[in-house]
Amino acid sequence: MQIAGSIALVTGANRGIGRHFTRQLLERGATKVYATARHPERIDVPGVEKLRLDITDPRSVEDAAAAASDVTLLINNAGISTWTNLVTGDLRKIRSEMDTHFYGTLSMVRAFAPVLAGNGGGGILNVLSALSWFSYDGTNAYGAAKAAEWSLTNGIRIELAGQGTLVTGLHLGSADTDMSAGYDGDKVDPAAVVRAALDGVEAGKLEVVADEWSANVKASLAADPSAFYTVTAN
């Protein structure tokens, strides 16, 4: 999967990591970049083709797939964070997290899989999170939704292998973007995350772990969970 000459579509392209994706795709020689958002007028990267898209609206997704029938690289970046817990949190917010990260991503994959197949296979990059692998008090709805999206990513990789579509999952800790403005811990540079992600796609990687924190979290999965949660609680 080469970025140069590709035709890419990025969801949630109006800010944060999505905005960095659109810029770096153009810098790497993508022939065309569809930059999508619910409010495309807020997209300020020159040289992109703007599309209105709400990934939680099936009709909007269908319209995007029809308008961008030449796509060879789909980047599922759009997401939300409601800072909601599971036991006492607002169920509407919990459902919104799942509707966006799981069902919204799945809707995009189902709509664009035939497009990618018709254009030679191409690739899909799903922006996941270190929270796919652990839980943190106050963001458990987000973590549950990202864990579901991680499983989705692994599942569609198997299902789309026959049509030659590369499926890559990107895991990162907290990036220095608007979404994490309320988080006071260390944050990674979103531009560096995007560089690592696109390098991984070009290298044919199934998974990109973009920062040391995410790598440590993944490594902890093979150990007793009490050790990991004792450390993070202190």
Average pLDDT over every residue of 74-90: 97
Burial class (CB in 10 A: 0-12, 13-18, 19+), 227: exposed
Query: Does 69 have pLDDT greater than 60?
Result: yes
Question: What pLDDT sits at residue 138?
Answer: 94
pLDDT in the model for residue 173: 86
State yes or no: pLDDT of 183 exceeds 70: no
Q: How far is residue 23 from each of residues 5, 14, 46, 144, 211, measured CA to CA in Å?
A: 15, 11, 9, 30, 21
78 pLDDT band, cuts 50/70/90, is very high
At 201, is the secondary structure helix, strand, or coil?
A: helix
Q: What span, in angstroms and rounded, lies between the C-alpha atoms of 98 and 76?
A: 14
Residues 108-138: tens digit of each pLDDT: 999 999 999 999 999 999 999 999 999 999 9
CATH superfamily of 7-233: NAD(P)-binding Rossmann-like Domain (3.40.50.720)
Query: In DSSP terms, which residues pair with 52 in a beta bridge?
Result: 37
Predicted TM-score of the model (pTM): 0.93
Whether the predicted pLDDT of 20 surpasses 80: yes
User: Is the CB of residue 38 less than 8 Å from the CB of residue 50?
Assistant: no
**pLDDT at residue 71 is higher than 90:** yes
What is the reported pLDDT for 184?
Answer: 59
**175: pLDDT strictly greater than 60:** no
Please state, for a pLDDT cut of 70, what percent of the chain lies above it.
Answer: 92
The structural domains of the chain, with segments of one domain joined by +, span: 7-233
What value does the mean pLDDT take over residues 42-69?
A: 97
Kindly report, residue by residue over 224-234, the tens digit of the pLDDT: 988 888 866 55
CA-to-CA distance for 132 and 101, rounded, in angstroms? 11
| CA nearest to 100, candidates 34, 53, 50, 154 | 53
**Region 66-74: what's the mean pLDDT?**
98
For the four alpha carbons of 187, 190, 194 and 199, in that order, the dihedral sign comes to negative
Q: What is the pLDDT of residues 144-164, one digit of tens each?
A: 999 999 999 999 999 999 999
Higher pLDDT, 175 or 186: 186
- Measured between alpha carbons, how far is 207 from 214 in angstroms, rounded to an integer? 12
Hey, what are 219's tokens? 């490594």
Count CB-CB contacts under 10 A for residue 196: 18
